[in-house]
Amino acid sequence: MVEIDPTSVGFEFAASAILGGLIGFAVKNVAKIVAVIIGVQLVVFRYLESNGIVIVDWDRLSAGLLETQEQANQGVHWLTSVVSTLSVGVGFTSGFLLGYYRG
């Protein structure tokens, strides 16, 4: 039988929730900056393409994305790792979401 110490589980949950909240807040702010940079980059590339300075092979580009998606679908069995890190994962996830939405 597995012994579970409520104190250590509570500590793990609280620590991971605080860490998750901080990381969620940081991720949201960094994501805003990255979205602006990517948006500006796409506008510049589109402008350069419309002037004939840059030529984009859209068929080749989308084919590479499809290959990446197929490789990502061939992942390993994740259930074992999820169950083993459940107390830390739940705390981190709840803190991350709270920090993300409040930030």
What digits encode the pLDDT tens for the residues 11-57?
888 888 888 888 888 988 898 898 888 888 888 887 888 888 888 77
CB atoms within 10 A of CB 34: 11
Q: Is 52 left (phi over 0), alpha (psi -120 to 50) or beta?
A: left
Q: What is the largest CA-CA distance in the chain?
A: 70
Give the integer Cα–Cα distance in Å for 20 and 92: 4
- What pLDDT score was predicted for residue 35? 86
- What pLDDT score was predicted for residue 83? 54
What's the CA angle centered on 68, arms 75 and 44, to 5 degrees?
140
Q: Are 97 and 17 in contact (CB under 8 A)?
A: no
pTM of the predicted protein model: 0.49
